[in-house]
């Protein structure tokens, strides 16, 4: 299992504001980086799978960037809405996923 | 994409008993996994379920405690054996076609041991 760090552990955002948070992972032997969104009482939902250095992916108001050389990824939420409240997990994937502890986002109306 | 059906969704069990959790995928998948989420923690991989051979367990998990079956490419079971209160967790299965594809998760089994 790879050592994965996500920061901050939690954050509170005012509705309409934008935010971002970080995932750090070992840069050696990189295959892919996954991002998941996990709402309470639901199963994790896949957001992005990123493989290329410099890759940027977007899904609605959520986007992510990837730097495989230095081993980090950012996830951005633009114009946060209450329904964005969830825990966001990143996981590098060699032959299995190694999940970080997640960043829990709470959007206040 | 794959749809995962996991059951039971929850159970309350007595100490010392065993429970088998089932995971059914609506299509053939290369890889299936079993995770545990203990209260207040993130997902921890228990094992990779290998079709036709013994599962690959992560550090801290052993076959005697968490026997896993995977008889074909669409189905797997996880048994939690000789349960104790420390086994109270949410257990999730997932399926994945390749490392460049997302994992799809079941809804989880919420297990409480008295």
Beta-carbon contacts of residue B52 (< 8 Å; ≥ 6 apart)? B70, B71
* Cross-chain Cβ contact B101/A49 below 8 Å: yes
| Structure confidence by residue, pLDDT tens digits, B91-111 | 999 999 988 899 999 999 999
| Structure confidence by residue, pLDDT tens digits, A48-96 | 999 999 999 999 999 999 999 999 999 999 999 999 999 999 999 887 8
- Find chain B residues with C-beta within 8 A of A96's C-beta: 33, 45, 48
Buried-state track B8-47, b at ≥16 Cβ within 10 A, e below 16: eeeeebeeeeebebbbbbeeebebbbbbbbeeeebbbbbb
Q: Tell whether B5 is within 8 A of chain A (Cβ).
A: no
| Structure confidence by residue, pLDDT tens digits, A25-51 | 988 777 899 999 999 888 999 999 999
């Amino acid at each position: 299992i790879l050592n994965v760090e996500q920061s901050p552990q939690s954050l509170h955002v005012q509705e309409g504001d934008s935010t971002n948070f970080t995932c750090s992972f070992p840069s050696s032997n990189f295959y892919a980086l996954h991002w998941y969104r996990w709402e309470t009482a639901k199963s994790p939902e896949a957001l992005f799978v990123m493989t290329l250095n410099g890759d940027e992916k977007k899904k609605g108001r959520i986007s992510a960037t990837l730097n495989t050389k230095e081993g980090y990824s950012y996830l951005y939420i633009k114009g946060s809405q209450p329904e964005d409240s969830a825990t966001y997990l990143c996981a590098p994937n060699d032959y299995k996923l190694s999940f970080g502890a997640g960043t829990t986002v709470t959007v206040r109306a | 994409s794959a749809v995962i059906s996991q059951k039971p969704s929850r159970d309350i069990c007595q100490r010392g008993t065993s429970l088998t959790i089932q995971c059914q995928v609506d299509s053939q998948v290369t890889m299936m996994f079993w995770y545990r989420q203990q209260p207040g923690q993130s997902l921890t991989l228990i094992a990779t379920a290998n079709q036709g051979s013994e599962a690959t367990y992560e550090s801290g998990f052993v076959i005697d405690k968490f026997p896993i079956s995977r008889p074909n490419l669409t189905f797997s079971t996880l048994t939690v054996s000789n349960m104790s209160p420390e086994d109270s967790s949410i257990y999730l299965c997932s399926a994945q076609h390749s490392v460049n594809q997302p994992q799809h998760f079941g809804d989880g089994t919420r297990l409480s041991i008295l």
